[in-house]
Structure 1
Amino acid sequence: MASSSTGALVRARKGVGVGGRGRPPRSVHHRRRNRFARVFAIFALPSVALLLLLNLYPVIYAALQSLRNGSLIDSGTFIGLRNYTGVLHDPNFWHAARFTVVFTLVGVFGSWAIGLALALLLRTRIPGRSIFKVLLLLPWVVPVVVSATSWNWLVATPQSPMSKLFAALGFGNVLFLADPLLAQILVCVFKVWISFPFMMMMMSSALASVDVNVYEAAKIDGAGKWQTFREITLPMISRSTYISWVLMTIFCVNDFPTIFLLTGGGPVRATQSLVVMAYLTVFANFQTGPGVAIAFLMTIVLVVIATLLYRQIRKVDIE
């Protein structure tokens, strides 16, 4: 009896039940994994094919169009990289590139600064905080068509409320959408206004993940509010900050409706970004090759920026 119980314990340590055969051999596990992988590949193949058809084919077709001198109704003839060289030698392209850089920098860091400040404010105990949160989300929730129409009503004509206000303050007849510099400032401010709620939500979630005990320890050590913010808050939320910068950079560079609905790229191309220039080149001038070439150059720049910021995110994860 003792020997049978000892044998049962030995079999149990080896993974063999009293009346069972124990674990299957390693080869059986290997065959099961291979069978599962084949079944998974069979079921995933239609989805992968559909994704390639919906994403890869348009990219390849657009790349071929950028190498031709066609239009919307004619593919044209093959001209190689002539569209890219023509775009890079166009002064209007570099003007649009400069404005895109300014628009992106103001949009990213302006919305991030305001969003972070509001996220810190909402962590304090202020009356009506829940209602305040909902109201702050309105610029992001309201469709951009409605927002652009409202801002046009505010500034578009001499009879607009903002124009009358500036005239009453002694600034004369200020035409925001007729002056190139004022139009650029207005577009950048509008972008920050519709984007800060997104940044506020990103920063609020990042701040919520910071351990409160860290702030208590810093307070005990005698750290001031600015020192705590600089040495603790910013490093602790740096990962979310870099992610928000990547997303907002993509949003700003590819932002077509904000500019087009507010100014149409004018006056005299002052607010024409690269995405607006690409659209007008294709659908207004019917030059498919140069327009698609502009879009591909934008994509290359976005990939480089996203890669650099992604490296910063990896450094934060390692640290």
Structure 2
Amino acid sequence: MTTGTAIGALKRARSGVGNAGPGRSANNSKRRFSHSRIFFLFLLPSLILVILLNLYPVIYAGIQSLSNGDLLSAGEFVGLANYIAVLQSPEFWHAAIFTVVFTIVGVFGSWIVGISLALLLRTRIPANGVFKVLLLLPWVVPIVVSAMSWNWLVATPQSPLPMLAQALGFGNVLFLANPFLAQITVCVFKVWISFPFMMMMMASALTSVDVNVYEASKVDGATAVQTFTRITLPMIARTTYISWILMTIFCVNDFPSIFLLTGGGPVNSTQTLVVLAYTTVFQNFQTGPGVAIAFMMTIVLVIISTLLYRQIRKVNIE
């Protein structure tokens, strides 16, 4: 075999062609194309079904947001009148402000509690396995059971927490009758049912951090705070941003937590945008404005998710 032939064979071997020549390469390309076409044909029915199930409701809802209809009839086309009316409503802006507060407290409150418990579970504590199972209960228990339990805990003057507050000299404290206390209660409840999700996300991220990095930082004399801020947080940054995106979506779209606990009251103090959209459509029978609120929520969620996703792409360390 000549040197040129050997070099050509080596190049073909590296590219996966071998010594079969151009005819065999063309046959392989045709075979791959045939396999791809068959795979696409098998995938096509499911793809069409997914598009119809998702695209049709979105288009129909968009038409409803531009009409003055109700639950029974589509109504007449009114353009952007529903959006303008919603943006001029003080009730909408009150719900939007509380939605922002509820989301910020829910995301960062549950993240702080979750990452703190994830770091704690990495240490050797007694009954570690039982402790993990107990910490998952707020997330595992159905939301209806959790909301009813919290109602029993704080709703009436005979509930445990109001009785405790009265015994401590704070007077007759009604957590769900006072607007400010109701907002605090709803936000705390959201953190309570959400921290197990954050704990699992952070625990899975922490397992990917090399222990040798911590040992090296100890040798260099780094403090616990420096290790956490300069090693742990950068190493789990990507998972952190993903958990923030997911929890933001969960908080903005969280209907059962608020509806079961307070119903949006008292005097609409705990009403979020998703609760406002529900009451507008199914209680006031104003389909157009209610769907317009939902569409604006979707747009805001897409923008927030896009911004956080860009932060994920900037992270070079997992």
- When normalised by structure 2's length, the TM-score is 0.93
Q: Which amino acid aligns with 1:283?
A: F
Aligned partner of 1:224 in structure 2 is: 223
DSSP 3-state at the match of 1:317: coil
Does residue 237 (structure 1) correspond to residue 236 (structure 2)? The answer is: yes
Q: CA separation in 2, counterparts of 1:25 and 1:208?
A: 47
Does residue 35 (structure 1) correspond to residue 56 (structure 2)? The answer is: no
Structure 2 regions of 5+ residues with no counterpart? none
Q: Which amino acid aligns with 1:59?
A: V
Name which one, 1 or 2, has greater alpha-carbon Rg: 1
- Checking the alignment, whether the CA contact within 8 Å between 2:139 and 2:193 is kept in structure 1 is yes
Does residue 247 (structure 1) correspond to residue 250 (structure 2)? The answer is: no
Q: CA separation in 1, counterparts of 2:226 and 2:163?
A: 44
In the TM superposition, 1:138-149 aligns within 5 A as: 138-149=137-148
Q: Which amino acid aligns with 2:282?
A: F
Aligned partner of 2:210 in structure 1 is: 211
Does residue 94 (structure 1) correspond to residue 75 (structure 2)? The answer is: no
Using the TM superposition, give the Cα deviation of residue 89 of structure 1 relative to its aligned residue in structure 2, in angstroms. 0.6
Does residue 266 (structure 1) correspond to residue 265 (structure 2)? The answer is: yes
Q: CA separation in 1, counterparts of 2:8 and 2:159?
A: 88
Aligned partner of 1:137 in structure 2 is: 136
DSSP 3-state at the match of 1:73: coil
Q: CA separation in 2, counterparts of 1:121 and 1:244?
A: 19
Q: CA separation in 1, counterparts of 2:282 and 2:200?
A: 36
Q: CA separation in 1, counterparts of 2:162 and 2:143?
A: 22
- When normalised by structure 1's length, the TM-score is 0.93
Using the TM superposition, give the Cα deviation of residue 37 of structure 1 relative to its aligned residue in structure 2, in angstroms. 2.3
DSSP 3-state at the match of 1:130: helix
- Checking the alignment, whether the CA contact within 8 Å between 2:107 and 2:244 is kept in structure 1 is yes
Using the TM superposition, give the Cα deviation of residue 25 of structure 1 relative to its aligned residue in structure 2, in angstroms. 3.2
Structure 1 regions of 5+ residues with no counterpart? 4-8
- Checking the alignment, whether the CA contact within 8 Å between 2:234 and 2:317 is kept in structure 1 is no
Identity %: 71
Using the TM superposition, give the Cα deviation of residue 48 of structure 1 relative to its aligned residue in structure 2, in angstroms. 0.6
Residue-by-residue CA offset, 1:253-303 (whole Å, 9 max, x unaligned):
000000000000000000000000000000000111000000000000000
Using the TM superposition, give the Cα deviation of residue 209 of structure 1 relative to its aligned residue in structure 2, in angstroms. 0.5
Poorly superposed stretches of 4+, deviation over 2 Å: 9-15, 20-27
Q: Which amino acid aligns with 1:105?
A: I
Q: CA separation in 1, counterparts of 2:239 and 2:7?
A: 53
Q: CA separation in 2, counterparts of 1:95 and 1:44?
A: 46
Using the TM superposition, give the Cα deviation of residue 216 of structure 1 relative to its aligned residue in structure 2, in angstroms. 0.6
Aligned partner of 2:124 in structure 1 is: 125
Using the TM superposition, give the Cα deviation of residue 63 of structure 1 relative to its aligned residue in structure 2, in angstroms. 0.5
Q: Which amino acid aligns with 2:25?
A: R
Q: Which amino acid aligns with 2:236?
A: I
Residue-by-residue CA offset, 1:68-88 (whole Å, 9 max, x unaligned):
000000110000011001101
Q: Which amino acid aligns with 1:263?
A: T
1:22 to 8, 20, 41: 20
Q: CA separation in 2, counterparts of 1:69 and 1:56?
A: 22
Using the TM superposition, give the Cα deviation of residue 318 of structure 1 relative to its aligned residue in structure 2, in angstroms. 7.4
DSSP 3-state at the match of 2:316: helix
Greater shift in the superposed pair: 233-242 or 27-36: 27-36
Does residue 281 (structure 1) correspond to residue 270 (structure 2)? The answer is: no
Q: CA separation in 2, counterparts of 1:29 and 1:84?
A: 56
- Checking the alignment, whether the CA contact within 8 Å between 2:65 and 2:287 is kept in structure 1 is yes
- Checking the alignment, whether the CA contact within 8 Å between 2:9 and 2:19 is kept in structure 1 is no
Using the TM superposition, give the Cα deviation of residue 30 of structure 1 relative to its aligned residue in structure 2, in angstroms. 2.5
- Checking the alignment, whether the CA contact within 8 Å between 2:105 and 2:187 is kept in structure 1 is yes
Does residue 60 (structure 1) correspond to residue 59 (structure 2)? The answer is: yes
DSSP 3-state at the match of 1:69: coil
Q: CA separation in 2, counterparts of 1:158 and 1:318?
A: 52
Using the TM superposition, give the Cα deviation of residue 246 of structure 1 relative to its aligned residue in structure 2, in angstroms. 0.3
Say if 1:33 and 1:226 are closer, same or farther in 2 by CA, change over 3 A: same
- Checking the alignment, whether the CA contact within 8 Å between 2:258 and 2:271 is kept in structure 1 is yes
Q: Which amino acid aligns with 1:209?
A: S
In the TM superposition, 1:47-86 aligns within 5 A as: 47-86=46-85
Using the TM superposition, give the Cα deviation of residue 39 of structure 1 relative to its aligned residue in structure 2, in angstroms. 1.2
Does residue 104 (structure 1) correspond to residue 108 (structure 2)? The answer is: no
Using the TM superposition, give the Cα deviation of residue 33 of structure 1 relative to its aligned residue in structure 2, in angstroms. 2.4
DSSP 3-state at the match of 1:310: helix
Aligned partner of 1:181 in structure 2 is: 180
Q: Which amino acid aligns with 1:266?
A: G
Q: CA separation in 2, counterparts of 1:80 and 1:67?
A: 5
Greater shift in the superposed pair: 23-32 or 34-43: 23-32
Q: CA separation in 1, counterparts of 2:307 and 2:226?
A: 28
Aligned partner of 1:6 in structure 2 is: none
Using the TM superposition, give the Cα deviation of residue 27 of structure 1 relative to its aligned residue in structure 2, in angstroms. 2.4
Q: CA separation in 1, counterparts of 2:19 and 2:237?
A: 54
Q: Which amino acid aligns with 1:22?
A: A
Residue-by-residue CA offset, 1:28-69 (whole Å, 9 max, x unaligned):
222222212221221111001100111111111101110000
